[in-house]
Amino acid sequence: MATYEYLCGRCGPFDVKSAVGEAPAVYDCPVCARAARRLYSAPGLSLTSSASAALREREERSREAPAVVSEVPPRTGPESGPKRPPHPPLPRP
């Protein structure tokens, strides 16, 4: 079953579940029974991982209210470069 979106001129958009590929171009509105035309929209696929979805949501929120930074944040994590090399230097001939 797929969900198809229709637009009624009086009542607005509504959804209809129908078999894939069998949705009519015109469908009667469930409220006022007037003819409503089918809208073409992107399919609702949920193939995105939760981590990717969270990043996408964060990106979309930052468009409306971007974070303001007043200074460079402190460095977190390992320091640059190792303190001791993993191998001692090789002897020179």
pLDDT band at 36 (very low <50, low <70, confident <90, very high): very high
Question: Which domain, by its residues, includes 9?
Answer: 2-39
Average pLDDT taken over every residue of the chain = 83
**Residue 28, amino acid:** D
Residues 46-59 pLDDT 10s: 677 888 888 888 88
Share of the chain above pLDDT 70, in %: 84
Alpha helices in 33-80 (DSSP H): 50-64
Please report, for the domain that includes residue 26, its CATH number: 2.20.28
Within a domain: residue 22? yes
Within a domain: residue 6? yes
User: Is residue 8 within 8 Å of 31, Cβ to Cβ?
Assistant: yes
- Burial of 36 by CB count in 10 Å (0-12 exposed, 13-18 middle, 19+ buried)? buried
Cα–Cα distance between 6 and 26 in angstroms, integer?
8
